[in-house]
Every structure is written in structure tokens, then in C-alpha cells.
Amino acid sequence: MHFEASEEQTLFLDSIRRFLEAETPLGTVRRLAETGGFDRGWWRRAAALGWTSLLVAEEDGGAGLGDEGAIYLGILAEEMGRLVSPGPVLPSAIVAATLSRSGSREQRDEVLPELISGERVAAWCLAEGGRSWSPEAIALEAEPTSHGFRLSGVKTPVEAGDRAELLLVTARADGALTQFLVPADAPGVTVELLEGLDLARRFAEVRFDGVDVSESALVGRAGGAAADVERQFQLALALASAESAGAAGRVLEFTLEWAFDRFSFGRPLASYQALKHRFADMKTWSEACHATASAALAAIAAGDPAAGRLARIAKSYTGDHAPEIVQDCVQMHGGIGVTWEHDIHLYLRRVATNRTMYGEPAEHREAIAATLLDVAGGEAA
Amino acid sequence: MHFEASEEQTLFLDSIRRFLEAETPLGTVRRLAETGGFDRGWWRRAAALGWTSLLVAEEDGGAGLGDEGAIYLGILAEEMGRLVSPGPVLPSAIVAATLSRSGSREQRDEVLPELISGERVAAWCLAEGGRSWSPEAIALEAEPTSHGFRLSGVKTPVEAGDRAELLLVTARADGALTQFLVPADAPGVTVELLEGLDLARRFAEVRFDGVDVSESALVGRAGGAAADVERQFQLALALASAESAGAAGRVLEFTLEWAFDRFSFGRPLASYQALKHRFADMKTWSEACHATASAALAAIAAGDPAAGRLARIAKSYTGDHAPEIVQDCVQMHGGIGVTWEHDIHLYLRRVATNRTMYGEPAEHREAIAATLLDVAGGEAA
Amino acid sequence: MSTESVEDFRARARAWLAANMPRLAPGAPAWNAMDVSEQDAARARELQRKLYDGGFAGLCFPREYGGQGLTPAHQRAFTEECRPYEMPLLFNTPTFTIIAPTLLDMGSEAQKRRHLPAMIRGDELWVQFMSEPSGGSDLAGALTSAKWDGGQWLLNGSKIWSSYAYFSDYAICLARTDWDAVKHQGLTMFIVKIRQPGVTVNRIRQSDGAIEFCQEFFDDVPIPPENVIGQVNDGWTVAQRLLHHERSSTGGSSPYASGTAGTRKESIDDLVELTRRAGLAGDRTARQQLAEAYVLQTVQVQLVDRVVKGMETGALPTTAGALLRLFGGTFAARRATIGFELAGSDAVAWKAGEERASRYGHGYVFRQASCLGGGSTEMQRNIISERILGMPREPAADRGVPFKDVRRNTGTSRR
Amino acid sequence: MSTESVEDFRARARAWLAANMPRLAPGAPAWNAMDVSEQDAARARELQRKLYDGGFAGLCFPREYGGQGLTPAHQRAFTEECRPYEMPLLFNTPTFTIIAPTLLDMGSEAQKRRHLPAMIRGDELWVQFMSEPSGGSDLAGALTSAKWDGGQWLLNGSKIWSSYAYFSDYAICLARTDWDAVKHQGLTMFIVKIRQPGVTVNRIRQSDGAIEFCQEFFDDVPIPPENVIGQVNDGWTVAQRLLHHERSSTGGSSPYASGTAGTRKESIDDLVELTRRAGLAGDRTARQQLAEAYVLQTVQVQLVDRVVKGMETGALPTTAGALLRLFGGTFAARRATIGFELAGSDAVAWKAGEERASRYGHGYVFRQASCLGGGSTEMQRNIISERILGMPREPAADRGVPFKDVRRNTGTSRR
């Protein structure tokens, strides 16, 4: 967490940590991995702690934190990382925020309360299976029909796609970004659970084979979703970054304990300078991961026009460094670190997955280079 | 040097080392840097040791080692690296080899003896100032005239271009690689000495402003130089690699001595595990640099069809690692390592220059990727 | 006795292989050391026997112990020739490259005559009982103990990280026989029969989900005195030979390995195919990564050649195998990372039945194993700096102290 | 006394700057700490005096010592506002960010009243005499000695790596005053006037050819007793405060720096321009490198913010500045490498008069300076592991031993 947390933020953090440690300690996470992911009752209890409404306006039943909710979400994401928690926090928060901002009266009155209460789960259908996760790469077609639109295309991987009752689909109508809220059981929608590296978080492929939706499925106006999508994307980048920072920070903590406890040649591992210097590097990177994730969330919360660039910076830095921290901590553990029995691989799977999801570091660096090089005059703002 | 040197090779090595240590120790190298590079008398004495004729056929007054001369040249290059020596070894060897293979009777009878004796110096005009050093990038035009060709273009940087009486110019006639031997004082040739990072080795820009040459300037036939150029290029890559391996290996040696002699907190630097582990990494990379440079030269000597790929591998590996070894040795030295007074920067300047000259690691990796990906079936042979 | 020339031998081997050994299907996957079943072991025993019957087993082992007494050059030729054939690669490591040369160096004449021919015939697969759950890199800190009791030793304790123990026959086992001696002087190396009462073998699941390694528990396992290798309480001398051979083995410089799991070319073809399948054949960054992997792989082979020659000529000390272990371990980790990055999201989430890219994800999760197995890269760096470069040894708190008084792990922060 | 609000202050500063300070020419090169002449120093003194006269000098220093008694937030606002103007940046380090806060912490009232206002007025430029030719990272191993002799101290020995000593006025100097005490307990910190008989200042040429640093030789230099900072033989306590402020300074978290050498944006613009000029604006590898530099530069600023807040709130110990030094040093080295690679052969050979790219070559040659100056990255890693993470301290062979008996450098392998 950032070092200037308010009292409310600290209370929120404590409530998350107590809840996760009690309800989904790592042993439970392992069991959920075998049985199919998060428990719906658990999710409703998490929702009761306010997790789902942090970016929802007060009049829509939300926390009324305004954009500052992004900072609370960052705290939540870090804690999720610290315990490799399951649960559709990221897609839920993103979909709820967009419905509150741009949803129709009906969507806000009928759908949003159920998302906030955790009764229903929503997923965001963004990527389409190519290398790029950028909104520019979206091609899923929304063809106008007499009564609405027909959606055709494939979205994959979709976080929590297998468990979601509602899908926020980012598509193109007449070439312009347009979003729809579609029930997962709509005719023509096929959801296939994917296998994956992360044991607690699941992804699905969602096919739209000429799915007919009415005008009322639109979230915002046709062709007018670019700002919402950009904001969703920024949130996803920053939250994935915060989660990886939390995960890597936690791994570093318990690996340090291990180094104190473990003796080799009559000396604790922690006394070997070659290892000490690597711990020093890892500590530095870990603090930098926290710093850049917090800065991105603060920029989003502040409506800073640089938020998009800062979110990409955070995602690229944490994508490079969080996995390397965890890998070197595996090395510090020795043989036990590459066993199934030891929890460290749960963390490695999470940060490796986060590195890829919502775009790899190289994709974000390329986008950053574009802001530096491709604008007239090299304007970097 | 490779670990299976023959007795002849060991004698050759000893003669080089004795000569360089006596004639151009590092203090002399520094003085030469102030005064304009190598001394002609020194170069003639070096030539008398056989340096210029290692790849020249016996009937042309050469060593008669056949292709095995490449291995001797590698030994010479490593020793040049170990003492950051001046002198046009690489261009002399390359030009002499090509004249012996493909030169006209006249070139072999009139010119070659003077190159071998060190009376005259030759330079190879390859690069044209762009990013690429590959023969494919050569554009200097050789336009047919009634009596020969007219050369137009710029070559830069040209090693020893400021001191050479003769220029081997790689050009294109009708789009096909063609080489010429041109006197540096021919009308239309302008040579401008460049400033540079390497204190002992100099480069020049050579302009050809409509330089008229007769047919007799051709080395080999018009449009038929591809094989010679490829071989020259392979030699340049392998020799630059060997030289950098020699330089980095020597730096590692004296830095290790320093670590033994230097005490910090009452203990020799060499006793600090964090430094010991970095020395272990450097030793491994250093041996690998030697290994890959030797393997490339052995392949050239054996006429192995893989020689081109192995030369690129060596250049890319040593280009990445030799400078990093030297930089970390600078770090090991502390403040004294970044002074003018300490010799280590002479080595750093040499390996940094070699990294760039004849193509950076990324260019060679791209070419290697092409052999892996762009040939039907992915044939990597 | 004059030795057959390498080229004559090569021709004879080629003909024999074609007539006798099963050919690999074109494009058959390279042998996967990670997932070996008892059936695979039975098959390896059968093929090894076939080689033995044909006179092509144990090429570099002395004739008196069932080998062929040939040179490393003969072995290299054979390894080149046998590439298209199914080979009993399971015998290579640790049986032939680590255990057998240790027995050759340190075993009694009776031990050599009893076990070496049996290995070469395919009758005995061996494993190492060296590491312990509490031990990490500190092999000499073994807590497994053997007590002399009525004319035999009784073994108690636990070992870990032994590959394939569940289908192997014998193990070489380091145990503490004197707790009052300083650490390195109270150890003895034993030959232990695996399938006998008192030995329990459990399999360990790896972080990537595969099962290769085992943990063993010993409960008063009897060992006859003739199964001591070398001298009682001098087991560390034997262990050092064993570690030397292990470095040669994992570094790729052992002359006792016969056949290899895939040629160099196959191994890069893997990444080439991945790059193409991922649609990245034209992507400059991907091309750089692919070429980097190929450069490192090639340099690794070149480094093995150099270091082996250096050790042969005495230009490098025999500990130089640590250079190969360090290079090999870090390269394998880098290669796993490149594979993971090339594979993109397919390595992170994939459809059931389309697992091709998933192994790059699992390879990434298991990445550090290449820097741990066969001696951690940290130990290699210690060896290189201390024994090749002659730098001062790390201070150890367990020197000159009776082993029973040495400080050991505290807490139980293993999670 | 109520403090002016930051925004009111900002408005007042903006107006004053526009009316009084010389504007930088658009596109003027950022201030280059590497190549400072005596004229530059005179100019800096003049500008500092101007700030002082306007009431904008020493913003965070107490009023009783000539400062303005304002908050770090005021200083940040001023630093933002003064970007378009020429500033006396030479005073920032070490005078304001390292020496002055050390005097504030540890100096006598008389020392503070005498020197702090003089610094803030632009009358005194200071340097550090800390490192020694024989010493490396081991500052407490100082061999420069001061002997008490007839009512004053006499200084003998040599110091090195002091920037700008040849035009500065005073130095803070660590010297050994008791050779029978253990290392850290026989040191005293002195104030030394530089321009006086017995002090010889030689300039050192750097590996990149530039001249910034100096070496000083002391030959019976007299120091009056009132120039001892803190207690005699307690100089290491003073040195630790100084090192703390040095870490804050080089890490970028000191509140006493006023103005910065170039904005963040200018600094990446440098590489952007290089990329364009090299024709690499469309090259994917170059774009990755450029973006990497920008990412690291941005994260560095974010890390400074985080660590400063962490130290303010007590979430991080005061030694956390070492995190910033380590990040900053390694980033600067990485940035130098990226610049060198982007510049291509222009950084290796260039036409006289077309040196623009050559500085990337020289920057690469001098690269490690960023990992050495202000405390090597190795020392930062020791501090982070031992003082932030609480890992065991390195064994030192010089603890508990009279300093005169400690082993020192052997041989003379400096070449």
C-alpha cells in the first residue's frame, strides 16, 4: 500500500486482509483450484465488504468515493495478490464502474444492484486472441439490425468468463468502439472454460455467433464507447500491476523469513553476501513495483491526462520485475521452491499470468514509444 | 587461445606477446594515441614476424598455412586485444588474403609483397555510414566507363583508412558485388580522419567522387566478388570477436589481481561473496567468448559451410558480453576505474568499438533469425 | 590390443544400429526426462540389453567391467549415429555418467565387478541418495545416519530429489556415521538396495505438476559392511568424486553418456515452430529472442568443447565443469523465459486439447529447476570463484566443530 | 508566525523570477555537472546572491541561519517555477544538500551561524574530503591523519573524488586522530579551509576525458580546534549523518536542492532526438529501448516519492535512501547503455565538429561512475540488506582491533 493511506483506507485494508486470511487462506485457494474457482457465497460476503461498489456512484448504490475509489481498488488488488486470491474483482469493478457512468437507467436500476450485491457476476470481453490487448485491436463486429445489433466474433481470454452471468462486450459498430451488456445465456453465445496457469483465476473463450441484441443492450451510445473503454483499460492495467506488486512483495517477505531460518554450512542463508545483494535488488524492485502501481492508480483517481501512459508504465515495469522477483525467490528456496507442495508457485503462476493479461510489457513499451516518437514535436504529455 | 594449440601456434603466440610487450606496452599505446596511431617502422617489424602473410599463399610470398592461417590470425587478434594494440592487422590480413585468392597477376606481383613487408598499408572500405554492416547493404556504385569504372559513394568508418596507401573498395557494378584496389591518392578520393572512442585504432571516412579506375583495378571479375566479400566479412567478425575475447580476458585477470590486493574493511575484496559470484559469472562469459571466437575461426579455417553463421554467433555473443565483463571490472575497481590514469578504459574503448564495428549484436541476431525462419522448412544448416 | 579406428567403428555401428535398434518415428518428440513411467524403465532395460548383446554398451568403460574400452571419440561417433534410433537414455544419468564413474574411481574391486557389468547389461538402474530435506546445497551436512549394529549398518533418516527412485534398483547413499567428528569427517558412502523392507519411496509433485523426483524414508535399513564405498568416515572423498562426475554430466562433458535427447537442431526447431505458430516470424523482437536462444545454445556447445579440452590438457582444473553447469543452468532458464514470452497468452490460458503452448507456461513455472538440480548455480559460483579463480573460501560456521554442535535450521517457514 | 501558503508563495516566486532571474535560451543544454569552470562558479555565486537578496535562497533552512524556514512543498513549487531560468545549481550538491544539513545536525552553534548564512548568500562553496586513494568504499578506514600540536591540529595525507575542490572555499574532512582506537572510534570530522598553504589541489582526468574530480594533498595544514564538528574521535557519527544526507541527495529526496538540471521531459527528449537522428524512429528494437529508458526514468521519480513518504511516515527507516541510490545508479548505467546502442557507430567514430553522438560513446565509457559516485551500488546493497531488511552484517576483519593493526592493501596492482 502507499505510505499515506488515510484512516478509511487503512480500515478497508484491514477488513480485506482479515476476510481473505479467514476465508481463503492458501490452503483454500488450492482446494478451489481443484473444484472450479471461487465460491458464490464467498463472493457475496466479499461484496458486502464493499468490493464491488468502489467505483459506483452513490445514487447507484455505490460507495460514493468518486474517482478516489480507484485507490481503494488498488489496495484490494494488492491484498488479492498477497494471498493469490480468487474472485472476479477486476472485471466486476470495471463493469460496475462503466455501468454507473454510462449505463442506461434500466441497466443501473436492474443490473447494477445485483452486481454490487454479488448475486450476479460480470465479465469484460476485451481481447480477441491475438497478440495485442489494446482497444485499437478490437474487431468484434456489431452489425446494425432493424431492432439493434448482431454481434459476431470471438473474445478470449476472458477473465471469469466461465462464471459470469453478464458480459460487457467491447465491439465495433461502423468501425467505432461500442459496448454492450449481454447475458451469458443469450442465444449464439458459447462459453468455453480454458485451462490455465493460474490455479485460482479462470479464463474462458466466449464466442458470439451472430448474437442478436436490442438497442437496450448498448452501454452508452453506439460508436461512443472510446472513453469508457480507455478508462476500463487503464484500470485493468493499474489493478493487474497492483496485484502483482502485492504478490511479489509477499513472496519477498516470506522468502526473507526462509533465509533467516534456513542454515547452510552452519550459517543462515541470510548471512551470505551474494544472496543479501540479490535481496537488496529485489527489495528495490519490489518498492518500485508498489510505487509505479500506486502512481498509476493515483493518476486515474485524479483524472490526470497522463493516467493512460502511467498505467502502461506500471504494467510494463511490474510485468518485467514482479515475475523476476518471484523467480529469484524460488531460487532462494532451493529444491523445495520447485515443488507443488510449496506455495510459491501459486504466486509465480499469478504474476506470470498478470504479466501477459491486458498486454505484455513489450506491447506497452511500444505504445509508450509511440507517444514519444510519433506525435509531432515529440510531445510526451 | 584455444586449448589444443600446436607447437607452432604456441611459438607464434610467444613471439607476438614478446613483441607487443616490448614494443607497444600500454604506456606506448597511450602515447601513440596522442601522436596519431601506429608507427610505420613498428608495423614493418610486426610484418617481419609474419603478421601480414598468414592468409597469403606460399607462391605469393605468404606463410603457406592455407586456410589454417585463420587460426593463427585469431591468436594474433586475441593478443592484440590483451594489450589494446594499435596496427592495421585486421584490414591488412583481409586485403592480403583476397589479393592472394582473387588478385590479378600484377596485383599479386607488384602490390602484395609491399603489403606483406609492411611497406604499404591497405584498408578495406566496407560500411557506408548506415546502421547495417552486411554486404547486402553495400550501395557504392561502380559505373562502367569506356576504360574501366567510375566509383561514387562514401565509405565510413574505414579502419586504418587514414594511414592506408591502398583501398580495397567493395562496390556494386550492375547491382552485383565487385571489388577494386584503388590507391588512396587517386584523383577524386578524399580521406578524412575521424575522431573516435578507441585511442589506439583509427577510422576514416573515405569519399569517392567519381573516381575513375581502369579494368586493372578489379580484384576478381566484375560482379563476381560475393564469395570474397563474404569471406572477408566472416574473417572480420571472427577476428573482432577474438580480439574482444582477448581484451576482456586480460581485464578479468588484472581485476582479479586487484581484488586480491585491495583491502576493504580489513578483508581483501576477493573475499566478498557478492563479488566472488560476479567474478564467477565473468569467468564463465569470458571462457564462452574465447570458445565462440575460436569455434568461428576453426570453422573458417576448415571451410565449414556453417562458418558464416558461426562468425555471426561469435560476434553477437562477444559483442554483448565482452563489454559487460569490462564494465563490471570497472565497477570492481571503484573510483580509480573511471579515471584516465587507469588503463581499464583503454580496454573498454576497444571492446565497445569492436561491439559496433562490423555490425552490432542485434544486426547479427537478425541475420541468424533469418536463417532459422526465412528459409523454407526452417533449415538451420 | 589395437583399437578399432573411429571411422571403422562408426561404419560398423551404423550398420548394426540399422539392423537392430528401433527407429524413431519422424518428428517423434524428443525424450522427456520429466515424465518417466515404470514401463519406460522396462523398455530402457530391454534396449540397453540389446546394445550390450551387440557389443555397443558401455563404450568407454573398461573391458574387465563389461565395457568396450573405447575412447570418447568412439562414443561421440556412436552418439551421432544413434540419433535416429530409440535409445535407453534413462541409463545415462545418473547410472552411467555419475554413479558408474564414481564406483570406477572409489569402489572396491568386488563392487566394480558386481555392479558395473550389471549396469551395462541393463540389469541395474541406480539413483543418488545425496540431498536431504533439511540440507539445501550443504550436502556434507547430512543428517541421515548409519549406526554399526551387530555386524551391519542400520540406516535411518530421509533423502530427497532422487530422480526415478521408484523404479530403480540401487542407490549410492551418503550417511553420517560419526556425530562427534567435524562435518566432513563423519560421513560414509554406502550402496543401498532400494527395494527392501525399511525403505519407503514417495513421489514428489513438481511446481509444474509433473512428477519426477522422490523422497525416501529409511527405517532401520540394514546395509552389509561390504557395501561401504571407500573407507568408513571418508564418505566425503567419495562424494567429491561423485559431484565432479555430476558436473561433467550436467555440463555435457561426460564420455559415459550414450545418445542424446534430441539434437541441437531439434531443440531450436522447437522455438522456431513456436515463433511461426504464434504468428511472430516477422516480428523483430521475437526474431531477436529466437536468435538469442540459438546463439546461447550454440555457445553452450562450444563452451563444452573448450572446457573439456581444457580439462584434458590441464589448462583448466577438473572443477571447471562448474563453468558448464553455470552456463547450462542460466541458459536453460533464459530459454524457458524466451519460450514463455514467445508463446504469449497461449502459455497462460489454453483450450483443453490445445496444450502445445501450455508447456512454455509450465516450463516458465519450473524454470529455476535448471539452476537448482545437479548443484545450484550458487554452488557453481562458489566453486568457480574459490577453486578455479582461487578466491578465499566463504567462512563457514561448521568448521572444526563436532557436527552434533553445528547450528541447524530454525523455525518451520517452509510453506 | 504563520507560513505563506504554497500557492501564494508560488505566485510570488513566479513574479520575482520573471523580474529578476536570467531566462534560459529555449533549447539551451541542460546544466552539465561534468564540466564546470571557475567562471561557472563565479556565475553561480552571483546568481545565488541574487536569490538571497530576493528572499528566495535557502528556502528550507531555518531563518536564524539565513534561510526562509519554509516547507519542502514550498521548495518543490519553487523548483517547478524556476525551470525556465538559469539557476546556481552548483550550490545544490554537496553544499546545500549534503554539507549544510550535516552542519545543521551536528555543527556547533558558532559553526552554523558562521557558515550556513555564508553558503546561502553565495559566499561559500563547499566540498567533501571523505574518500581516500587507498580506501574504496571503506570511508572509516581513512589514513589521512590530524595530530594535536600546540593548540591546533595538523592535517597530513590525501583525499580524492572531491568535486570542484579547485574553486571551492571549504571542505568537510574526515581524519584519523587516534590510531590506537578501533577503526570507527579514532576519527574526527573537521572544517578545512581549502585555499591556504599546505593544501595542494590536483585535478583528475576521468576515463571519458572530462575533468571534474580532484585529489588533495595535505602537508601540515593547521586547523583550529573550533573547526572540529561534533566531538574529537566521534567523527564517524558525523560521517554517518553526512552519508545519510548524501543518499537523500543522490537519490533525489533532499529538500535543500533548489532547481534541477533539466526537467524529466528534457531528459527523455535527449534520447528521443537521438533516436530520430539515427533514423530509428520506426525501428521496433530502438523503440523498445527508448520506452524502457522512459519507463525507468518515470519509475525512478515515483520511487523517490514513495520512499520519501515512507521515511516521513516512518514506514521506511532513514537508510531507505539507499534504495534510491541503487535504483538511480543502475538506471543511469542502463540509460548510458541504451544511448550508446541507439547512437550506433556515430558513438564510436565521428567527424570532428559532429560530436553530438560522441557523448553517448563517452557516456558509455564513463557509465559505471553512476554506480560508484555517492557510495557504490555494492555499499547500497549492503545497507539495504543489513539495515533495511535486517540481514546479518558482513564479517569485518577490522572490528575490535586497534586501527594501526588492521590489514591494508597489498601490492600495487593499480595500473
Is D210's pLDDT higher than 90?
no
Dihedrals φ, ψ of C112, to 5°? -65, -45
Q: Residue window 25-84, chain B: list those with CB within 8 Å of chain D.
A: 26
Which residue type occupies B328? Answer: D
Q: What does residue A152 show for φ and ψ, rounded to 5 degrees?
A: -140, 125
Q: Is the pLDDT of residue B91 over 90?
A: yes
- Residue B377, pLDDT > 50, answer no
Which other chains touch chain D, taking contact as 3+ CB pairs less than 8 Å apart?
Answer: A, B, C
CA–CA min distance C343, chain D (Å): 19
**To probe the interface with B, which of C276, C294, C326 has the most B CB atoms within 10 Å?**
C294
Tens of pLDDT, residues D94-107:
999 999 999 999 99
Give all chains having 3 or more CB-to-CB distances under 8 Å with chain A: B, C, D
The answer to whether residue D32 scores a pLDDT higher than 60 is no
**pTM for this one?**
0.92
CA distance C238 to chain B (A): 26
Q: Is B262 on the interface with D (CB under 8 A)?
A: yes
Q: Are D345 and D387 in contact (CB under 8 A)?
A: no
Residues of B in contact with A276 (CB under 8 A): 274
CA angle B3, B4, B10 (to 5 degrees): 90
Give me A204's grid cell.
Answer: 474462458
A1-5, B187-191, B285-289, D360-364: least confident range: A1-5
State what percent of residues in chain B have pLDDT above 70: 98
Q: What is the DSSP letter of C359?
A: H
- Provide the 10 A C-beta neighbour count for residue D169: 19
| B276 touching chain A per CB within 8 A | yes
pLDDT, residue C412, reads 42
C-alpha cell at C398: 561448521
Q: Sorting pLDDT into bands at 50, 70 and 90, what band is D412?
A: very low
CB contact under 8 A, A2 and D306: yes
Task: State the nearest Cα–Cα gap between B149 and chain D, in angstroms.
Answer: 29
Placement of cell 579455417 in the chain = B301
Residues in D closer than 8 angstroms to C283, CB to CB, are 284
CB within 8 Å of chain C, chain A residues 270-299: 272, 274-275
Partner A, chain B 324-353, Cβ-Cβ below 8 Å: none
HSE, side-chain direction, 13 A CA sphere, residue D96:
28
CB contacts, 8 Å: B271 with chain C: 391-392
Name the residue of chain B whose CA is nearest to A275's CA: B274
Residues whose CB is less than 8 angstroms from the CB of residue C383 and which lie 6 or more positions away in sequence, other chains included: C319, C322
| A266, A340, A344: residue with CB nearest C396 | A266
- Half-sphere exposure (Cβ direction) of B227: Cα atoms closer than 13 Å: 7
Q: Computed from CA positions of residues C297, C302, C304, C305, in that sequence, does the dihedral angle turn out positive or negative?
A: positive
**Is B274 within 8 Å of chain A by CB?**
yes
pLDDT of residue C200: 95
Contact partners, residue D373, CB within 8 Å, separation at least 6: B335, D161, D250
Residues 332-351, chain B, touching D (beta carbon < 8 A): 334-345, 348-349
**Is residue A154 exposed (0-12), middle (13-18) or buried (19+ Cβ within 10 Å)?**
middle
Q: Give which of A365, A375, A379 to mutate to test D binding, by max D Cβ within 10 Å.
A: A365
DSSP state of D23: B
Tens digit of each residue's pLDDT (9 = 90 or more) over B316-354: 999 999 999 999 999 999 999 999 999 999 999 999 999
Distance CA(C318)–CA(C303), nearest Å, equals: 15
Of D283, D288, D395, the CB nearest to C395: D395
- Segment among A8-12, B147-151, C135-139 with least mean pLDDT: C135-139
In our burial notation (b when 16+ CB lie closer than 10 A, e otherwise), range B157-184 reads bbbbbbbbebbbbbbbbeeebbbbbbbb
Shortest Cα distance, chain A CAs vs residue C393, angstroms: 12
User: Chain C residue closest to B364 (CA)?
Assistant: C291
**Yes or no, beta carbons of D272 and A378 under 8 Å apart:** yes
Nearest CA in chain D to C395: D395
Alpha carbon distance A105, D69 (integer Å): 55
Of residues B279, B291, B368, nearest to C303 (C-beta):
B291
pLDDT of residue B381 exceeding 50, the answer is: no
| Cell 555490425 sits on residue | B359
Other C-beta atoms closer than 10 Å to the C-beta of B375 total 11
Question: Nearest by CB to A264, which of C138, C373, C395?
Answer: C138
> Which pLDDT value is given to residue B379?
39
**Total beta-carbon pairs less than 8 A apart between chain B and chain C:** 128
Closest among C122, C126, C127, C124 to C43, alpha carbons compared: C122
Q: 3-class DSSP state for residue C159?
A: strand
Residues of A in contact with D310 (CB under 8 A): 3
* b/e burial code for range D311-346 (CB count within 10 A of at least 16 → b): beeebbeebbbbbbbbbbbbbbbbbbbbbbbbbbbb
Cell of D376: 557504490
- Contact across the interface for C209 and A340, Cβ inside 8 Å: yes
User: What residues of chain B, 183 to 222, have a C-beta less than 8 Å from chain D?
Assistant: 192, 194-198, 203, 205
Query: Which of D138, D163, D207 to substitute to test the interface with B, most B CBs within 10 Å?
Result: D207
**Residue A180 contacts D where some CB pair is shorter than 8 Å:** no
- Asked if A142 contacts A149 with a C-beta cutoff of 8 angstroms, the reply is yes
Mean pLDDT of B107-117: 96
> What pLDDT is recorded for position D218?
97
- Closest CA of chain B from D192, distance in Å: 23
Nearest to B51 by CA among B59, B42, A163: B42
**Residues of chain B above pLDDT 90, percent:** 90
pLDDT value at residue B241: 98
The answer to whether residues C233 and C189 touch, using CB atoms and an 8 Å cutoff, is: no
The contacts of residue D39 (CB under 8 Å, 6+ apart) are: none
Task: State the smallest CA–CA distance between residue A252 and chain D in angstroms.
Answer: 11
- Please return the burial class of D411, using the count of CB atoms within 10 Å of its CB with bins 0-12, 13-18 and 19+: exposed
* Contact (Cβ atoms closer than 8 angstroms) between residue C161 and residue C94: no
Q: How far is A272 from chain B (nearest CA, A)?
A: 7
Q: Where are the alpha helices (DSSP H) in B262-334?
A: 273-302, 307-333
Residues of chain D whose C-beta is under 8 A from some C-beta in A?
A: 265, 268-269, 272-273, 275-276, 281, 284, 287-288, 290-292, 294-296, 298-299, 302-303, 305-307, 309-310, 312-313, 315-316, 323, 326-327, 378, 380-382, 384-386, 388-389, 391-392, 394
pLDDT at residue C397, rounded to an integer: 79
C-alpha B142/C-alpha A345 separation (Å) is 63
Binned at pLDDT 50, 70 and 90, residue D26 comes out as low
A331 contacts chain D (CB < 8 A) = no
- Cα separation, B252 vs B322, in Å, equals 10
Provide block-wise average pLDDT over 10 residues at a time, chain C (415 residues).
Answer: 86 96 73 71 96 97 96 92 92 95 97 97 96 82 94 95 89 96 94 96 91 91 97 96 86 84 65 93 94 97 92 90 94 96 94 84 95 90 97 87 81 40
* CB-count exposure of residue C2 (10 Å: 0-12, 13-18, 19+): exposed
**CB of D100 closer than 8 Å to CB of D256:** yes
Q: Report the distance separating Cα A155 and Cα A161, nearest Å.
A: 10
Residue of B nearest to C300 (CA): B288
**Confidence check: pLDDT of A36 > 50:** yes
Of C291, C298, C394, Cβ closest to residue B369: C291
Q: Mean pLDDT in chain A?
A: 94
D369 to chain B: nearest residue by CA? B338
CB C225 within 8 Å of CB C152? yes
Q: Which of B223, B260, C38, C402 is nearest to D412 (CA)?
A: B260
Q: List the Cα angle D236/D241/D242 in 5-degree steps.
A: 90
| DSSP codes, A55-106 | TS-GGGTS---GGGHHHHHHHHHHHHHHTT--S-HHHHHHHHHHHHHH--HH
Smallest CA-to-CA distance from C212 within C34, C66, C392, C359 is with C34
Across the A/D interface, how many CB contacts are shorter than 8 Å? 128
Burial of B265 (C-beta count, 10 Å sphere; 0-12/13-18/19+): buried
C401 and A266: CB-CB below 8 Å?
yes
**% of residues, chain A, pLDDT over 90:** 90
Q: Phi then psi for B57, rounded to 5 degrees?
A: -65, 155
CA distance A174 to chain C (A): 28
The minimal CB distance from B291 to the residues C272, C290, C299 is found for C299
- Can you give the C-alpha Rg of chain B in angstroms? 21
Q: Please tell me which of the candidates D275, D295, D303 has its beta carbon nearest to residue A365.
A: D295
How many other C-beta atoms are found inside a 10 Å radius of the C-beta of residue B4? Answer: 15
Interface contact D315-A3, CB threshold 8 A: yes
- Coil, strand or helix: which one is B304? coil
DSSP one-letter string for A318-379:
HHHHHHHHHHHHHHHHGGGGGBSSSTHHHHHHHHHHHHHTT--HHHHHHHHHHHHHSSGGG-
Question: Are the beta carbons of C396 and A265 separated by less than 8 Å?
Answer: yes
> What pLDDT sits at residue A377?
44
